[in-house]
Amino acid sequence: MSTHLPSQVTLVDVGPRDGLQNEAQPIPAATKIELVSRLQDAGLHEIEVTSYVSPKWVPQMADAAEVMAGIARRPGVRYSVLTPNLKGLEAALSGRPDEIVVFGAASEAFSRRNINCSIEESIERFRPVVQLALAQGIKVRAAVSCAVGCPYQGDVSADEVERVVVGMKALGVQHCGIADTIGVGTPRKVQAAMERALKHFPVEEVSGHFHDTYGQALANIYACLEMGVHVFDASVAGLGGCPYAKGATGNVATEDVVFLLNGLGIHTGVNLDALASAGAWISAELGRPPVSRVGRALLAKKATV
Ligand code: HMG
Ligand code: MG
């Protein structure tokens, strides 16, 4: 039995961005700001707050500047935002993000649907974004969408993943996130994609971003832990989906990941009860129960005592 799992994991809560971007109902900026506040209260040190994308493409993120201006920053917490192009980064700068995310795809079809250009064009579009961010002292993370499957193309090979990883690395991107956008990955497939990222980035600069559509995300996280990967995105209450990946549900719920890691004795710094309360609160704001199994179990337990 392998005992060489990491002793510590960094969780990036992407709920305010990946979670809420897919909501059809308008969500006030104040609610998004409150969510960020509750996440940092729960001990999250990395929060993906919003994205500076076209409001015609993703109307829910149109208040990015207001949200970034409204958050009560806490020392030791890092705030990231998505910027698909120079226009997005220029708009993001006044919000002083600690990190920006450029997002490409391993599948040509998804690249076109999500950011309206080919993979090659996307890399060229990211070049000035990465240069400007680095010149401003802002860390740059890349997300590689559809790293194990695509809603339009179907299977995606590890070679296709590596092609984007290499393109991102050549731009000077500092961190590479491997994303299973539609949650079809299973452990061996995810490990094969991860391996390609690990060929080009150090293990501390590689992360997993697993949507839980088919209920495989925790198994995939465990498979990545076995490889030494110790940074994962997750979404409080399991919020979300992707507007350009029909049927995809949210990221793996942060509560579920913390419960798994607590059970493995892996430190996250996150207080599970406070996190579950944040998940219950935002779910109530959205008018539904939390998607998180752990969140629901903890709520039920509370109700019976
Ligand atoms: P485009 O239409 O090709 O862009 O969209 P354009 O440069 O031709 O501009 C068209 C219009 O958009 C212009 O406005 C621009 O000013 C405006 P108009 O003159 O028509 O009034 N525009 C912008 N406005 C605000 N901010 C901007 C911006 N850029 C242009 N940054 C574009 C290209 C990339 C902008 C568009 O496709 C877009 O915004 N896509 C975003 C899609 C998105 O947000 N998807 C979800 C996030 S990614 C994700 O969820 C995956 C991830 O979680 C990992 C995973 O799970 O896989 C990260
Ligand atoms: Mg995502």
Q: How far apart (Å, rounded) are the C-alpha atoms in residues 197 and 99?
A: 19
Is there an atom of ligand 1 within 6 Å of 53 CB?
A: yes
Q: Who wins on pLDDT, 240 or 131?
A: 131
Give SS3 for 111: helix
Q: Is the separation of the CB atoms in 85 and 125 below 8 Å? A: yes
pLDDT for residue 248 is more than 80: no
Token representation of residue 81: 């935002």
Q: How far apart (Å, rounded) are the C-alpha atoms in residues 77 and 259?
A: 21
pLDDT range class, residue 242, cuts 50, 70, 90: low
pLDDT for residue 241 is more than 70: no
Q: Model-level pTM?
A: 0.97
For every residue of 3-19, DSSP letters joined together read ----SB-EEEE-IIIII
Q: How far apart (Å, rounded) are the C-alpha atoms in residues 247 and 83?
A: 24
pLDDT tens, position by position, 124-161: 999 999 999 999 999 999 999 999 999 999 999 999 99
Token pair 């949200």 in the structure block, residue? 67
Write down the pLDDT at residue 303: 86
Q: How far apart (Å, rounded) are the C-alpha atoms in residues 163 and 108?
A: 12
Q: Is the separation of the CB atoms in 160 and 107 below 8 Å? A: yes
Q: Which atom in ligand 1 lies closest to the alpha carbon of residue 115?
A: 37
pLDDT for residue 3 is more than 70: no
Token representation of residue 257: 């990941």
**Interval 211-236 mean pLDDT:** 98
Its CATH class, for the domain covering 10-304, is alpha beta
Q: Which atom in ligand 1 lies closest to the alpha carbon of residue 84?
A: 34
Is there an atom of ligand 1 within 6 Å of 80 CB?
A: no
Residue of 9, 21, 52, 81 whose CA lies nearest to 244: 21
Write down the pLDDT at residue 246: 75
Q: How far apart (Å, rounded) are the C-alpha atoms in residues 209 and 67?
A: 23
Q: Name the residues around ion ligand 2, CB cutoff 5 A.
A: 18
pLDDT above 70 as % of the chain: 98
> Which residue numbers are catalytic?
242
- Helices H / strands E in the chain, number of each: 11, 10
pLDDT above 90 as % of the chain: 92
pLDDT for residue 2 is more than 60: no
Work out the mean pLDDT of the chain and round it to a whole number. Answer: 96
pLDDT tens, position by position, 86-113: 999 999 999 999 999 999 999 999 999 9
Is there an atom of ligand 1 within 6 Å of 213 CB?
A: no
pLDDT tens, position by position, 48-67: 999 999 999 999 999 999 99
Pairing of strands 78-82, 154-155: unpaired
Ligand 1 center to residue 275 CA distance, Å?
Answer: 31
